[in-house]
Structure 1
Amino acid sequence: MTEGAARVWRERYELIDLVARVGPSSLWRAYDNRLRRTVGLRTVDSSFPRLHDLHRAAIAAAHITDRRFANVLDVMGPEPDDELVVITEWIPGLALREFLDQPMTPHGAASTVAQAARAISSAHAQGVTHGRLRPSALMLLPDGSVRVRGHGIDAGLYGRDPDLEPVAADIHGIGSLLYACLTARWPFDTEVGLPVAAQENGQPVRPSRTVADIPEALCRIIDSCWQGGYATAAEVAADLRLQAGALTEGPRRQVLHGRRGRVLVTGVVAALGTVAVVMGLADAASRSGDPVTAQPQARGLATLVPSVARDERRLPIVEVEDYDPLGVDGENEDLARFALDRDPLTAWNTVTYYDPYLGGKPGVGLRVDLGAPRQVTSVELKLVGANSDFEVLIGNKRFADPEKYRTFADVTGAGTNILLRSARPMTGRYVVVWFTRLPWIDGGYRGGVRSIVVRSG
């Protein structure tokens, strides 16, 4: 590495801990002195034969905008006789493999891998594949969510595995991750930090032969991942969420209180919380000015904007109600009116769930009636809790099926104040705020709306 090139990034990034060194690559926990945050810093020697292919893979990964990934923040080099440096987010969680000393419950496995599959599907939609899914590629966070790391970079360093078409390789890898979560064994003879599953005729035995009472439906999902039964990762995610919703986790839940009960995750999430809090406090003690904040992103017709347009007018809302078409007994319907009372201290809340993805239920929300079809150009929300994922949906009927509404915006990592505006109006009578991921609040997961304002202009 040349002295000049070294000075460019070493002046900005302070190396703290060497996390791993494999062949030509070293991964460090580092500190960004300019933005005052912890990051991951990977260096790859200039002698690496596929250095320029890896550089292209890192650039492609940097275009992923989904918050479910450890995003690539910067790529430096390679100049002639210089190394490649890739800066990524530092995830304050632990790798999945560190929690597979024993099998997960079927519900836990389905929920965990469903989150990963949804993230992989989002990357595929942006034209980027992972190429080498392993238990080390999934990070579990204290709030129960999953982040995916190593997109394109792991495959660039160590080769795509399995050696299939890129999307098919990722779908195959999702099946292998599900197998690992259910059995605490890796299905193939590859070093991933887990024991290798028993083999029969050159193939891993069915998960239900390793661990009793694994639902056959989950075994079939694994088979379909490995045998080309799925065309997209989104299809795998949908089936996994469906199965997660049909399963229960009685022994791992502790009812606290409430109309339908607050539920506190124990086991994996509790352990993660302890470790991550200790790590976070230690880092915060030595580094000031490194706030943990939501980083909202919006896709769809509308975009995030900082202020209301002068020519917009507020539309009347004649009715508000909870929208829980996939639930049983409603979602705090008696609180829905608080989303319109203009009191910043009151809100409509969801009930409290034991995981951020509503226990496998696709979503829940709040629906407002504008009285007649109106041209909607902006929706302003004040939310309960930070880091919600939600969609704003619009339609002319009170649909029982949320898929029948049109998407005005799809927001991830929302903060507590959100303003969405579209240059092109969408016409409809009903506006739905449809939560698909809930924030961690007071020992459980729940979201809510303090205020909703719909405008036209």
Structure 2
Amino acid sequence: MPSIHPGAPPASLPPAILGQRYRLERKLAQGGMAEVWVGTDLSLTRKVAVKLLKSNLAADPIVAERFRREAIAVAQLSHPNIVAVYDAIEDTIGGERRQAVVMQLVNGKSLRQLLDEQQRLSPDLTIHIGVCIGAALDCAHRAKLVHRDIKPGNIMVTPDGRVMLTDFGIAKGLDGSEDDLTSPNVMMGTAKYLSPEQVRGRKLDGRADLYSLGLVLYECLAGRVPFLGETDTDTALARLNRDPTDITRLRPTLPQGLAALIHRLLARRPDDRYATGAELRTELQRIASQPKADYDASRDVTRGATPARGRPAGQVVSGSTTVPSASGQGARRSTPVHGSRTPTPVGGYQPARPGRPAGTPVRADRTPTSTKRPRQQPNRKFEHRAGPSSVIVGGLLLIAFIVALVLWVTIGRDDPASEPGANSSGAPEAAGDTIDLGTDLGPTQIIAVQTFDPEGTDTSENDDQIAAATDGDTTTGWTTLCYSNRFLSGKTGVGLVADLGAARTGVFTVILGSAPYQVKIFAVGDGEMPTTFDAWGSPVDRRDGLTSETISVELSTAARYVLVAFNELGVDPSCTTNDYRGRIVEMSFR
């Protein structure tokens, strides 16, 4: 739906009557292809919305025919959550032939406007939007129509809580009975809300719309879409290379099952999503009907944000009845780094302090809440009282630290291998990229590390920093190159591979020094190290977050090679040309 400018005076047209029936009165909205006017149906004496194709496009027969087909297609749909189409007209206005579609006039705001105002919505309102649009899509899909442009701007929300889907301008029939008026090589739709199959130019069915709806619901809860690049192309391609950030990292306290539902909608393979809008609607209603005892909106904030008092007002109901009020690939850094792609022997940066978000903090839920604010009183049983126990604990910790320090110094002096520049034979180490640590691997058990960048064109991904990732020093580390966007300019990922020397079981730990981040951890047994992401198979773990942190993964199946791959990067102020970079402070295996 185009952006709305209530009360704007007529600009491009004189007062006119279309088809001797519909009087144009004032411009309501304007988009790239059409203008929307408030009009009056003189026959039925009712207000209508008239969508008028712009004059510079009306002369294009393909655009005009697509515009006409929208009216015909939507006029066949009758559903309370779909904006109704009443008529299609071609008439002369100001000496020009113009095409118009007469529609139901909806008194409300677009979801885009609502999100721009409130940033995030309550789970209750988000579920209701999903229920209504899921039902609308089920109606369209049963009529063999794919909308192809599900986005907040095409969803209307009224003050009394009705949610309606509009703008089927690029809808496409599923039966293929008519010629397709869109090029198969053109991605139809808005880049931020495209499904993977739309990006790839593959045949679509209703599950493509459900994916786009999943992106909309994700934005309603998280305050941002999960995929966003520097350009529309980067944005579209990002969903092909990585999974969305776990929404519970951005919105920790959601009703049980809601996060899993949204991530199922965002599955890359259509077969892994909900099959129909009706199935989605049923599952959303089930989640909405759960007891709210375990859900407290006052805790529904991200780290660094101020909690909102109270709970979301109102109750979700299905259909269109009253609900809570809606009103209330760029280049890398150009500096060349030279080095061979051979493993580097073992040995980041100081991670951010826990609890301090990187980048712009996500705002607390600003959806209107109950007007009654409970009086908050301190719970005195949780007040901190200093006592003898804290003194005892502090003394014990001091003693433990002194003992550990003495042992470390003693062992270090007795270990000849710790002397710099000497190996077990007493001879200087040979030059090279791999150090043989012998049979005693020590506590880390990582014998070599190398970078992994199968889609890179450079000869190095800061290979000269590799040793710092296993040196036991948290003030040093390995970094990726600087990229133009957080999705590595379209790459699947880059990272480090740790060689454990033989297939082993144990706990692999990595300290990350950048945020926000998304990483995947892969592990394979003995044999050749994989050279592509596909060859690594499925990850043994995946993590994402807003702050740098330590990740530990238990390898219950013996593995020799472990890959830690970044799929999303954070902003690094030390980058001079491109802004995004990932950091691995330290890796170890025990």
TM-score (norm 2): 0.38
Larger Rg: 2
Q: Which has the higher strand share?
A: 1
TM-score (norm 1): 0.49
